[in-house]
Each structure stands twice: as C-alpha cells, then as structure tokens.
Amino acid sequence: MHKPYKAKDHFFKKAKSEGLRARSAFKIEEIAKRHSLFRKGQAVLDLGAAPGGFLQIISDAVGPAGTVVGVDLAAIRSFNRPSVKTAVLDVLAADFEAQLLTLYGGAYDCVVSDLAPKTTGIKSTDEARSLALAKVALNVARKRLKPGGSYVAKLFMGGDFEGFRNEVRTSFDDVKVVRPEATRGQSMEVYLVGLRLKAALPGSGASSSG
C-alpha cells in the first residue's frame, strides 16, 4: 500500500536545510549516483527544469567548466552560475528545437526530463500525456546527445510503458527503471534511464545534431 502523502516530509525538510529549491533534487542525485551519469566538464540538458532543484545538483556535478541548460514553461529563478543557462520554452511548440539550439549549439552528454503533464485524475489520460512528454524528450536525446550519452525521463507507470521502454532500448545499450527514494509514496512515477546512446546507423540520422 502507498504511504500517505505528507506535504512536509523528510525530503522536503532536508532540501530546505541544504538550500535546494525542491525536494525532487534528491531524485536526480540518487539516479546520477547509481548510474554515474555526470562528470566535470559535461554538457547537460534539463527539460521541465523549474524551479531548479535538478539544475542545482547537475551544475554541482559538472562544475564551472560544464554547461547546463534548463527549460520550462515556468520561469526559473536566476542562478548565479555562468555555466547554467535557462529559458522559458514549450517543448511542444513547433519551433522548440530551433529555440533550444540558440541556447547551446553543441551535443549533450545527458538529456534529463522531469516533464509532467497537468493531471486530470483520469488514469489512462494522465499516463498517455506523461508518455507523450517522455517521447518528446527521447526525440531530443536522439538528435542532440553525443554517442555514448545518457537519457533520463520521468513518466507514469502504466499504459504503453513497456512499449516505450522497448523503444528506448533501440537507441541505448542499457535501459533501467528507477523509482528514487524521494518519490512520494502515492505517486505512480518512475524514471527510465537510457545508458550509452548507440552510434547511429549510416543514413539514419538518429544521433545527429539538429
């Protein structure tokens, strides 16, 4: 049985005491430690980055020589870190990829997505919307990741989850399902982690920048 919801639980209090913007920061911290995702000097894209908890963890990990780009529909309070760039962007907009390129034109070492839909309370609808956002993130990862790069995306368990996991497997050497300790007890969310983007087949364009 799921644990009851507690608005100010252990992770909320810990985040506040450590100066983190959101308790969710501990989710990416755990995932990154489990799978050695980040290293100094890397470039990382964070989709659905507001209010910036993930950005704090990622920017600490890649250091001042790294580059971290965070985008969200909501404005992200400024970071006093030259390595962090943020913008208000809609991942579903027709010009999203073009706008993203203006923030950073190079290839990324990791694409992280904490995108979440506005929930309706209708399980099948919410699962489908969550999956659609994870697919958007996967398409970005396929285009903007370096070969060998990583992909992390939140989505709701259920619906066509297995089909999507198999789709991720076509692009990455290994795919893990992680439910971080900081996930709220009643939540159906998990994170899919794609490790080591496969080199694109000639003519496929799967991992070319665009």
Q: Which sequence positions are flagged as catalytic? A: 154
Q: What is the CA radius of gyration of the chain?
A: 16
Q: Which of 107, 76, 105, 108 lies closest to 89, judged by CA?
A: 76
Q: Hey, CA dihedral for 206, 147, 151, 25, is it positive or negative?
A: negative
Residue 31, both tokens:
């995932």
Tell me the C-alpha distance between 73 and 89, whole Å: 5
The 10 Å Cβ neighbour count of residue 170 is 11
Q: Which contacts (CB < 8 Å, 24+ apart) does range 177-184 have?
A: 178/30, 178/31, 178/34, 180/26, 180/27, 180/30, 180/31, 181/26, 181/30, 182/11, 182/23, 182/24, 182/26, 182/27, 182/30, 183/27, 184/3, 184/5, 184/9
Residue 119, both tokens:
């929930």
User: Alpha carbon of 135 to those of 16, 132, 141, 205: distances in Å?
Assistant: 32, 5, 10, 17
